């Protein structure tokens, strides 16, 4: 079975990861090891817990389904807003 989670534009992986971490920081969702240790995070990238090039990823197994869903929903909402702005 082929993966249903593939990107139509593979070059967008870095930008999507960046957006994911920005949304998580805005929502206060702890991404990466710093969040798992209970440390405050303003932005996950400052802690070195993600790869801006999209070649690596932080461990996210400590997130609840609610947190992961909130981040995914926030990403979708932001992408829809950006698309609407470009259409106007």
How far apart CA 77 and CA 65 sit, in angstroms, is 18
Contact 74, 26 (CB under 8 A): yes
The domain ranges of the chain are 10-87
Show the tokens assigned to 80: 């829809």
Q: Rounded to 5 degrees, what are φ and ψ at 83?
A: -65, -40
How far apart CA 34 and CA 13 sit, in angstroms, is 22
Can you tell me whether residue 55 is helix, strand or coil?
Answer: coil
- Does the pLDDT of residue 82 top 90, yes or no? yes
Digit-coded pLDDT (tens) for 10-68: 888 889 889 988 999 999 987 754 444 444 444 444 444 444 444 455 677 788 999 99
């Amino acid at each position: 079975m082929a993966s249903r989670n593939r990107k139509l534009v593979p070059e967008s992986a870095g930008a999507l990861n960046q957006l994911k971490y920005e949304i998580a920081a805005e929502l206060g969702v702890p991404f990466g090891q710093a969040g798992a240790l209970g440390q405050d995070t303003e932005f996950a990238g400052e802690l070195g817990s993600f790869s801006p090039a999209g070649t690596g990823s932080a461990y996210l197994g400590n997130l609840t389904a609610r947190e992961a869903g909130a981040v995914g929903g926030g990403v979708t909402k932001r992408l829809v807003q950006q698309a609407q702005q470009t259409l106007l």
